[in-house]
Amino acid sequence: MKNKISNSLKNLILNIAALILCFSLFSFTTKTTVKKDTIQNSFKLKTVIIDPGHGVKPDNAPPGHYSTGASGTFSVERNVTLAIALKLQKAIEKDIDGVKAVLTRKTEEDVSLEKRAEIANDNKGNLFISIHCNSLADKVVRKRVGTRHGKAIYRTTRVPDRSGKGTLMLVYGLHRTNEEKNAIKNNQIEDDSSLNGDGLDPNDPVVIILTNAYIRKFRKQSINIANLITNEFVQTDGRISEGMREQGVYVLCHSAMPSVLVETGYINNPDDEEYLNSEKGQNEIVNSIVRAITQYKAQVEYTTTANKIN
């Protein structure tokens, strides 16, 4: 059944557009001094979803996307990500007032990508952080192994590539925007108290406007939290960073909230693997993410406004 959007909401959007136009027309006619004040807004960061990547596929697991993850010399990604995630959950709830941390998995058993996004949305998360370990594929090397009839003989072999090192942040790629739109409509706009009815008309102008507004906001905030975490890793912990990349990660674009995937290090690099499995390394990763969330919380809960003084 198509949702009936209240006329008052439509009129509000039109009035806002008109006000913006008026301000753009007349803002240059009066000289003013602008004083900026920071005020608290109504939004509160209440729930952070922590997603430990990968896991052991359960027996008789329901259909879905599962992955065992990467491996190092003596450890596997799924165990490292769970250990970091459990520490991160405790640290967030201990050090950040009023914020609850929800895990998408608490044991070694894997949870499908579909279920992870569902857990995030069902718990009304405000921020989604997926914890992973990076790895490089084996290199293909062509080696000379001898000669025959005066001609060189070569053999192609695969050797581990352990050259990767440091952290990497991933945000969802724009080519999956339609999937994010559906997640936002299902988990954000339907909760809007100003929208009445049992369903949404995807072609309704108000729904389109609200969906696009959420996409722009979430993308900006995803990039922001990715940069904040990177800065903490680099400036506080002295880690190497590969920066931030866009990638079509399922859980990022299906979670209707700002989201980032944190590659905490290369598990197939000997130095990174030692760091990722050490108490010191895991605690540094957790503390840096908590500091970044604390900064993020302060930013999104407060709004800078301009007071004009003639």
* pLDDT digits 0-9 by tens, 159-202: 788 989 999 999 987 554 555 445 444 554 444 444 444 444 45
- pLDDT of 151 reads 83
Pick out the chain residues at pLDDT < 70.
1-41, 174-214, 303-310
The CATH number of residue 214's host domain is 3.40.630.40
142 within some domain: no
Q: Is residue 3 part of a domain?
A: no
Residue 84 lies in a domain: yes
Question: How many domains is the chain partitioned into structurally?
Answer: 1
pLDDT for 110 equals 93
Task: Note whether residue 26 is domain-resident.
Answer: no
Flag whether 230 is in a domain: yes
Residues in the chain: 310
User: Is residue 33 classed exposed, middle or buried when 0-12, 13-18 and 19+ CB atoms within 10 A define those classes?
Assistant: exposed
Structure confidence at residue 230 (pLDDT)? 98
Domain contains 146: no
Please give the model's pTM, rounded to 2 decimal places. Answer: 0.75
pLDDT tens, position by position, 296-308: 999 999 865 444 4
| Element housing 153 (H / E) | strand 151-159
Q: Is residue 161 included in any domain, yes or no?
A: no
What's the pLDDT at 143? 77
Q: What is the bridge-based pairing of β-strands 151-159 and 139-148?
A: antiparallel
For the stretch 232-239, contacts whose Cβ atoms lie closer than 8 Å and that sit 24 or more positions apart, written own/partner, are 232/288, 232/289, 232/291, 232/292, 233/167, 233/285, 233/288, 236/284, 236/288, 236/291, 237/284, 237/285, 237/288, 239/166, 239/167, 239/265
Range of the domain at 274: 31-136+167-309
- Specify the pLDDT at position 78: 96
What does the pLDDT read at residue 146? 77
